[in-house]
Amino acid sequence: MTRPPRHFSLQFVSFRLYITKRNESLPERGLFMRHIFIINPHAGKKDQTGRIYEMADRLRQRHGLDCQCLLTQRPGGAEEMARRLAESSEAVRIYACGGDGTVSEAANGMAGFPNAAMTCIPTGTGNDFLKNFGPDAAKFSDAENLWDGDVLPLDLIDCNGRLCLTIACSGIDARVAESVHELGNSPLLSGRGSYLAAVAVNFLFRGIGQHWTVTLDDEVIEDDFALVSMCNGRYYGGGSTPVPEARMDDGILNTVLVKNISRLKFAGLFGAYSDGRYRSLPPELIRVVTARHVRIQSESDIVTCLDGESIHSRDVHLTLSDKKLNFFGPRGCDPNYGAGVK
């Protein structure tokens, strides 16, 4: 039998080493790396931990992948796990299994690390982030569609040092979102019931607007505002799309400013705002800008919602993060599916 020439073996070894090193610097494909499933067992109405374990086992058996499942039991746990994995310098693909909150935590932990990429498997009640992928959003439910997907570098919003994937909103919509989360723990209210109760509490008893000083790069505006939302993606609040042309990878952040108005007038324009038809609304009431730096200051607490999670501050700084998020999904998926002006 003829033996292959010695240089053939050396070339093969060199080629494999090249691929391994290349994947260590940018995890573009699923081979030669770890696959870690960070599972939030409390996300959603039904614990799907068993289903995720089965997915990991199938990947291990079918493709020989190095898979491991980790459970997060408390707020901030997914972020800590993702950061430890990214700081190891090993090539790793992280699967955030939960809702938007779990995805946000994982992104805050591993963004900016070139050796780490993440995706998400939706198991929560809210998955607004995945709506940006259009019909491909359904494919994220099965890790078989994800493990060897392309890496997409996505932009992030930096809000007071916290990173946000989609929309950072301050004002009445953030207060409603916070109230929904608080009331959702009540055994007396359903999902829709908690939303209706949250709207009633904030619109009828607390009023809509607050007096803010808003700085858009070098422009300073002091006025009463209903809300200010900075958009990297298009969806939040269960499907609202205030800026339908927002794209998650173009380096541009679109900020919506809505002046304070009466409850009746706000109720009349909210449908158009939620549907992305801001151009049809009076320009003296609503404005969309592409400022690189936005600052909101107030003498009272400002509630800001980042990917469904609330923070309180009297001085909110919003800008494009200098970190990118290496995100992988089904091959050929588009995080800007259907983006465009209405």
Got the DSSP string for 49-66?
Answer: HHHHHHHHHHHHHHH--E
| Radius of gyration over every alpha carbon of the chain, rounded to an integer in angstroms | 22
pLDDT range class, residue 1, cuts 50, 70, 90: very low
Residues 306 and 168 in one domain: yes
Q: What is the pTM of this model?
A: 0.87
CA pair distance 191, 210, nearest whole angstrom: 28
Among 17-21, 148-152, 188-192, the least confident range: 17-21
Residues 252 and 279 in one domain: yes
Q: Which two tokens stand for residue 308?
A: 């469904």
Look at residue 22 and tell me whether its pLDDT is greater than 80. Answer: no
Residues 55 and 126 in one domain: yes
Please list the residues that pair with 325 across neighbouring strands: 154
Look at residue 125 and tell me whether its pLDDT is greater than 90. Answer: no
Give the single-character DSSP code of 41.
T
Interval 231-253 mean pLDDT: 94
pLDDT range class, residue 16, cuts 50, 70, 90: very low
- The per-residue pLDDT of the chain, averaged, comes to 87
Cα dihedral 40, 241, 329, 326 sign: negative
Cα dihedral 300, 297, 295, 223 sign: positive
Residues 81 and 221 in one domain: no
| Nearest C-alpha neighbor of 334 from the set 249, 242, 223, 221 | 249
Question: Which one is predicted more confidently, 22 or 329?
Answer: 329
The verdict on residue 3 lying in a domain is no
Interval 179-202 mean pLDDT: 59
The verdict on residue 339 lying in a domain is no
CA pair distance 166, 155, nearest whole angstrom: 9
Q: Residue for token digits 């995080």?
A: 335
Residues 258 and 282 in one domain: yes
Q: Residue for token digits 């995890």?
A: 27
Residues 202 and 172 in one domain: yes
Which CATH number belongs to the domain containing residue 226 in this structure? 2.60.200.40
Over residues 150-190, the pLDDT tens digits come to 999 999 999 999 999 999 999 998 988 887 766 555 555 55
Over residues 304-333, the pLDDT tens digits come to 999 988 999 999 999 999 999 999 999 999
Residues 314 and 167 in one domain: yes
CA pair distance 107, 70, nearest whole angstrom: 16
- What domain range includes position 104? 14-156+324-328
CB 322 within 8 A of CB 155: no
Domains contained in the chain, number: 2
Q: Which two tokens stand for residue 94?
A: 């992280």
Look at residue 200 and tell me whether its pLDDT is greater than 70. Answer: no
Question: Exposed (0-12), middle (13-18) or buried (19+): which is 34, by Cβ within 10 Å?
Answer: middle
Q: Residue for token digits 């909103």?
A: 169
Interval 266-276 mean pLDDT: 89
Q: Residue for token digits 């109720």?
A: 267
Residues 135 and 28 in one domain: yes
The verdict on residue 5 lying in a domain is no
Q: Phi/psi class of residue 82: alpha, beta or left (left: φ > 0; alpha: ψ in -120 to 50)?
A: alpha
Residues 186 and 208 in one domain: yes
CB 257 within 8 A of CB 289: yes
CA pair distance 101, 107, nearest whole angstrom: 10
Residues 92 and 207 in one domain: no
CB 82 within 8 A of CB 109: yes
What's the chain's length in residues? 342
Which CATH number belongs to the domain containing residue 39 in this structure? 3.40.50.10330
Over residues 37-95, the pLDDT tens digits come to 999 999 887 889 999 999 999 999 999 999 999 999 899 999 999 999 999 999 999 99
